[in-house]
A and B are shown apart, each in its own frame.
Chain A
Amino acid sequence: MTDIKKEIETQEILVNMGPQHPSTHGVFRMVLSIDGELITDLTAHIGYLHRGAEKLCETMDYRQGIGFMDRTEYLANFNAELSYVMAVEKLMNMEIPERAQWIRMILVELNRLSSHFMFVGAFGVDCGVFGTPFLYSFRERERLIDLFEEITGDRMMYAFFRAGGLAWDVPVNFESRVEEVLLSSEQGIKDMDGLLTQNEIFLARTKQIGKIDAIDAIDWGMSGPSLRASGVDYDIRKAEPYLFYDQIDFDVITGKNGDVFDRYFVRLQEMRESIKIIKQCLKHLNPGKTLAEGASRNLRTPPGEVYIRTEAPRGEYGIYLVSNGENRPYRLKIRSAGFSNLQALKDMVVGSYIADAVVILGSIDIVLGEVDR
């Protein structure tokens, strides 16, 4: 056999996936060297969506920066805004009204739900189902987004959080609407269980694929569900509670194996936890103010720096804000989860099949706006 192999000259093929490819989730580009169907090497190229959000934020005052956060993490905008406004609040040493905090928590968790719905649907398409999970999950996401539109007036770029609270109070029927949406979301998660989690082909496609163990995952700086799937019990909501997460009872979901299925399943379970959190938050919602005293349009922060990290759907969304006493950041660094998670892609993909590369990339759940900023 070895002699025959030597005689036939073989050549590795370079396959360029992206930036225009249906399953690279935006404008991510990976160059795969393949040997038959096996992937021997991967080079990742990012930056096609780089808009210089950090530099732009340095030229605008704190209130204007909120809009840029929406545009970096465009599937979990509330989470991104939260990190940013919390950084400013921390510098200002502000007291935030309780009602505003609870509403923030509800919105952030709802946004986690909508983002994970997006993930599950897109993941189904990556696995090759013709659209059904995608449209089922998008129906649920649509309901969530309708609710966000009722609250903020926009479907995607909310710009609703302010340093010091919220832009305005939520509508009077907020609580009943949230409960209504949660009810349909619960059903939607069950649908996903039926469509994907119990499907034999889906299991065969996702289990034991793209494995990464806990030590490697930590070394690559992964965070969020992708890290927890490897069995690391690290959730910023539990480790360093912000808002009122310390008063809420919820579990941190971890996987065992760090494979694609675990990354999917951790997210699905996390959605159930989010629903649990929101239901508890609704009980704490009392009438009151939603904007802190002294929160003006043009804030001037004292000099200093702060690094705020929150648990966004994709992992740690960190804002490193350096102020020199002006009304705008001196330096703003956005530490996005996708950026760090994506680095580990090469470790997971090399040695698997071409079809797996797509599924593994889908399981990391990147948002290119957040990766490239």
Chain B
Amino acid sequence: MLINLLVVNPFLDNLLKVLSLVGLMTISAMSLIYLERKIAARFHMRLGPTRTGPAGLLQSVADALKLLGKEDIRPKSADPWSFELAPYFVFIPAFMMLVTVPFTLLLNVQMFTLGLLYLIAISSVSIVGWVMAGWGSDNRYALIGALRAAAQGISYELPLVLAVLCIAMLSQSLNLNVIIESQSTLPNILFQPFPLFLFFTAALAEMNRSPFDIPVGESEVVGGPFVEYSGIRWSMFFLAEYTTLLVMSILIVALFLGGWAWPFGENLGTFWQIMLTLLKTSFVIFIIFWTRVSIPRMRIDQLMNFCWKVLIPLAFLQIFFNGFILVLELPKILLSISSIGLLALLVVIVNKSIQNLNKEIVS
């Protein structure tokens, strides 16, 4: 709101917004790295960074300076074009995603009518960058990692879209602000817990975060597509990774947890709306960090089976139920029941498959 009032010239206005986005991106990535290190350290019963600055707060700054000062190495046998361009293909989509993120009702760069579609479309562009990095590095670990990333990214696009579709059916819109406004009394998580799980899982896979960090798994492919990168190029991948993390978390908050609207309605001041969004986002990010430190990595075939044989059929079921209930204008409680039922079904399927492993042992 402040920015909107101060700057009248639309060109200057947008320039200022984009520049502030760059600032936001860097600062949020650095603080998220610091937070991840501190939170992981707490889970590990160690201290994490303590020496640089008060409580190690400047650790990320020091790391960034170190990365800037590092030599930018390109292997002799690497393909120069795809190797050098790959970081931009990962970095720019992450940056573009920030454009339509709803921090508050008014504070955003541009709220599109089809904002959700835009976000999903842009987020999948980064796969191109991953494949370019893997192919261009001329390293076998990188190649394996890149192909894993491509397979995983494209597969999990589907559950992501299907989960979004469930929400769009509920709110009758793809505009993120409309979706949030529709949740000002009750958040979508109450009606759609299964799509929330779906979206959370798919988002983890899209971001290549644990337990789906298969493309970068350091105990197998030693960092995957980034093996050969160093210095500033490597840090661009990192920046993109944490920006995607931020955007995806805000998206989860917007779609399922009521964004800035729930539980205080739309008339809260901009400041408190930002605080509310950040609070919820921090909670989601904390859960993502928590998953990372406590769950082993899945294997690529298990990941694919989970996506195609479990998540997608169940997602279609949810869409079918939603459509059925909404068209016949049945009470909304049925949405929750159907969704919780699907969640229970998922748990049963997973338990069954684990038990099958045990059965084979007996025979």
The answer to A–B direct touch (Cβ < 8 A) is yes
Interfacial residues, chain A to chain B (CB-CB below 8 A): 13-16, 21-23, 34, 37, 124-132, 135-136, 139, 195-196, 199-205, 207-208, 256-257, 259, 353-356, 358
- In the complex, the chain A residue whose C-beta lies closest to that of B217 is A128
Tell me the residues in window 36-58 of chain B with beta carbons closer than 8 Å to chain A beta carbons. Answer: 40, 43-46
With A128-B296, A129-B295, A132-B293 as given contacts, are A204 and B361 in contact (CB-CB < 8 Å)?
no
Question: Residues of A contacting B66 with CB < 8 Å?
Answer: none
A303 to chain B, nearest CB (A): 50
Q: Contact: B296 with A202, CB < 8 Å?
A: yes
B218 to chain A, nearest CB (A): 6
Q: Which of B45, B293, B295, B300 contacts A199 (CB 8 A)?
A: B295
Q: Contact: A15 with B214, CB < 8 Å?
A: no
B353 to chain A, nearest CB (A): 7
Q: Contact: B43 with A129, CB < 8 Å?
A: no
Q: Which of A139, A205, A207, A358 contacts B361 (CB 8 A)?
A: A207
Q: Contact: B298 with A135, CB < 8 Å?
A: no
B278-291 vs A, Cβ < 8 Å mask (1 yes, 0 no): 00000000000000
Q: Contact: A201 with B295, CB < 8 Å?
A: yes
Bound: A37/B358 CA distance, A:
25
A13 to chain B, nearest CB (A): 6
Q: Contact: B219 with A126, CB < 8 Å?
A: yes
With A127-B296, A132-B44, A355-B297 as given contacts, are A204 and B357 in contact (CB-CB < 8 Å)?
yes
Q: Contact: A23 with B219, CB < 8 Å?
A: yes
Bound: A356/B353 CA distance, A:
19
Q: Contact: A207 with B219, CB < 8 Å?
A: no
Question: Residues of A contacting B362 with CB < 8 Å?
Answer: 256
A27 to chain B, nearest CB (A): 15
Bound: A195/B295 CA distance, A:
8
B276 to chain A, nearest CB (A): 30
Q: Contact: B298 with A13, CB < 8 Å?
A: no
Question: Residues of A contacting B351 with CB < 8 Å?
Answer: 200
Bound: A21/B222 CA distance, A:
7
- In the complex, the chain B residue whose C-beta lies closest to that of A128 is B297
Q: Contact: B292 with A130, CB < 8 Å?
A: yes
B131 to chain A, nearest CB (A): 16
Q: Contact: B44 with A355, CB < 8 Å?
A: no
Q: Contact: A136 with B45, CB < 8 Å?
A: yes
Q: Which of A23, A135, A204, A354 contacts B46 (CB 8 A)?
A: A135
Interface status of B71 (Cβ within 8 A of chain A): no
Question: Residues of B contacting A196 with CB < 8 Å?
Answer: 296
Q: Contact: A130 with B299, CB < 8 Å?
A: no
Bound: A14/B140 CA distance, A:
8
With A15-B141, A21-B222, A354-B220 as given contacts, are A132 and B358 in contact (CB-CB < 8 Å)?
no
Bound: A281/B292 CA distance, A:
41
Bound: A353/B296 CA distance, A:
16
Q: Contact: B44 with A125, CB < 8 Å?
A: no
